[in-house]
Structure 1
Amino acid sequence: MLSVNLGPLGLSVDRLLVMAAFLAALAIGWLVGRRRGVPRGAGIGAVLPDMLLVGLVAARVAFVAQWFEAYRAQPWSMLDVRDGGFTPWVGIAAALLYAAWRARRLPAVRVPLASGLLAGAVLWGGLSAAVHLMTQQAPGLPETRMQALSGAPVALAELAAGKPLVVNLWATWCPPCVREMPVLAAAQAAEAGVGFAFVNQGEAPERVAGFLAERRLALDNVLLDPPGALARAVGSRAMPTTLFYDARGQLRDTHLGALSEASLAAKLARLKEAR
């Protein structure tokens, strides 16, 4: 499973794991602080949210600095964190340094904070390992049969042909799908060593062809999946979803939501390294 729907909101599993770890750390830290008689306003609740904010800002700044050229043309896009562009290890290091600084100034919070962080780390590590194991045991490229715009049957393995493959699940009515399409089109034209497949979910050929013509998008490997079978096969409940398969057909990365030039470049770089 790649995503979970909470009402109309689709959340990726990795973000849900971070949320679960944060809540676990907050709960355990609060319980430990209560038992130790830590006064209100001086417990883990006064530190953990700030840690999260510091970590996110540091991770974003580091990512933007690394991929600055991709953001140069549209500086405002540096603030659009919906593209998922973060450097996790920088964020974790910054958050821990901030926690150490706060713990030094607030001795009463040290044990609750350490207990909460340990609980959150254990939960996140265990769940992440389980998700990773499930991903590694997946059979590889789904065998779902789809159709080209011409009506010919197509399978993803035929398009991969021994190369890494990026599979984008999209629809014309999905604003983030429309927003990221030029970015994916440019990458397809530039990346000769990586295959791209654009799998439309649930729409008629006429609708898809009209959309591509209206937007003047010259895309190869536009496929039709009227029943949404591929989304069910990979466990995606939201669009756009982008899947990154290595040359052996193993799923290496996923992205839920619109990709920016920078976030796509970062994922393609990791996909090439996986060769």
Structure 2
Amino acid sequence: MGTINLGPFAISLWLILLTIAMFSSLAVGRLTARSWKVDIEPILWTLLIAAVIGARIVFVARYFDGYKAAPWSIMDIRDGGFSKSAGMMLLIALGAWFAWRRKEARKPLVLAVGTGIVVWYLGMTALIGRDTGQVKLPQVELVHLDGGTFQLQSLAGKPMVVNLWASWCPPCRHEMPVLRDGQAQYRDIVFVFVNQGEAADVVQQYLKAAQLSLDNVLLDSKLQVGRQTASMALPTTLFFNEQGILVERRVGELSAATLAQRIESLRKPGRP
């Protein structure tokens, strides 16, 4: 999923879509409540909160190994670890239960929840289509940290994880150990670390101070990769298949669990 950039800030399109779907549902709920003279707004908020919590719980349960080293990170939802399908199923099931228990609220509740689901589904379809098959591995010449120019395309042929980062970016620094461990763990995946806009000595000093040993550290002084993939927010991690086509995009910090989820998705046969 991409972002909308507002100056130095980047807002996830996924979050914007969730907000639009939520307020669409609330708006329909308020309008229909006037006709049926029943207040369903508390029910709608209950459904939303339950769906978000349920989506997080299911995700954590599925990728619990990624949280074992730091169990408290389960509470840090900034890693984007949610099971959207589980959240949607819980919302529908709980909504059906409320509709069964509250006959007077049944019609406005069905209309409000249905509106939110339709907005969410159409938005997700548009966002997935926006990235899938549209963005390819940039054909750019970068500079290797060890010296000399380097063609990013020369690493094509295997699934690839391209991390766009900078040493001044706190979330970038925080997720680096996760990506380092991922590079060592997922040997069938090529990990590439493309620094955005910093000099070689700055990058080398940071890696040395942080005691990070990474392969494929490249310098992109002109921000070519970020511009060509519409990924100007940092950190951004791009997931390309064997054909060099973008299949996943994560804007913001990755955890071990959310990295595992995306690697699992990247390995699926038949992905565009």
Q: TM-score, normalised by structure 1?
A: 0.91
Indicate which of 152, 160, 165 corresponds to 2:160.
165
Secondary structure at 1:47's aligned position in 2? Answer: helix
The CA deviation at 1:120 is: 2.0
Does residue 228 (structure 1) correspond to residue 207 (structure 2)? The answer is no
Contact 2:131/2:248, CA 8 A, preserved across alignment: no
The CA deviation at 1:262 is: 1.1
The total of aligned residue pairs comes to 270
| CA distance in structure 2 between the aligned counterparts of 1:54 and 1:6, rounded to whole angstroms | 31
Give CA-to-partner distance per residue, 1:201-226, whole Å, 9 cap, x none.
11111111110111111111111112
Contact 1:83/1:259, CA 8 A, preserved across alignment: yes
Indicate which of 78, 81, 99 corresponds to 1:82.
78
| CA distance in structure 1 between the aligned counterparts of 2:69 and 2:135, rounded to whole angstroms | 40
Name structure 1 gaps, 5 residues minimum: none
1:68 corresponds to = 64
Which letter does structure 2 place at the counterpart of 1:25? Answer: S
1:46 corresponds to = 42
Indicate which of 204, 212, 237 corresponds to 2:207.
212
Question: RMSD value over aligned CA atoms?
Answer: 1.9
Which letter does structure 2 place at the counterpart of 1:133? Answer: G
2:94 corresponds to = 98
The CA deviation at 1:112 is: 1.9
> Kindly tell me: are residues 144 and 19 of structure 1, through their superposed partners in 2, closer, same or farther at Cα, counting changes over 3 Å?
farther
Contact 2:165/2:234, CA 8 A, preserved across alignment: yes
Contact 1:2/1:234, CA 8 A, preserved across alignment: no
Indicate which of 180, 193, 214 corresponds to 2:175.
180
1:242 corresponds to = 237
The CA deviation at 1:129 is: 2.0
Contact 1:165/1:247, CA 8 A, preserved across alignment: yes
2:246 corresponds to = 251
Give CA-to-partner distance per residue, 1:83-121, whole Å, 9 cap, x none.
111122211121222222222333332222211222222
Secondary structure at 2:161's aligned position in 1? Answer: strand
The CA deviation at 1:139 is: 4.5
Which letter does structure 1 place at the counterpart of 2:155? Answer: L
Aligned structure 1 segments of 4 or more residues deviating by more than 6 angstroms:
none
1:261 corresponds to = 256
The CA deviation at 1:188 is: 0.6
Does residue 36 (structure 1) correspond to residue 36 (structure 2)? The answer is yes
> Kindly tell me: are residues 109 and 10 of structure 1, through their superposed partners in 2, closer, same or farther at Cα, counting changes over 3 Å?
farther
> Kindly tell me: are residues 139 and 240 of structure 1, through their superposed partners in 2, closer, same or farther at Cα, counting changes over 3 Å?
closer
1:27 corresponds to = 27
Contact 2:135/2:246, CA 8 A, preserved across alignment: no
Give CA-to-partner distance per residue, 1:3-49, whole Å, 9 cap, x none.
113565422222222221112111122222223333xxx22x21222
| CA distance in structure 2 between the aligned counterparts of 1:134 and 1:70, rounded to whole angstroms | 29
Does residue 128 (structure 1) correspond to residue 124 (structure 2)? The answer is yes
Q: TM-score, normalised by structure 2?
A: 0.92
| CA distance in structure 2 between the aligned counterparts of 1:121 and 1:93, rounded to whole angstroms | 11
2:197 corresponds to = 202
Give CA-to-partner distance per residue, 1:48-100, whole Å, 9 cap, x none.
22211111111111111112222222211111111111122211121222222
| CA distance in structure 2 between the aligned counterparts of 1:267 and 1:63, rounded to whole angstroms | 12
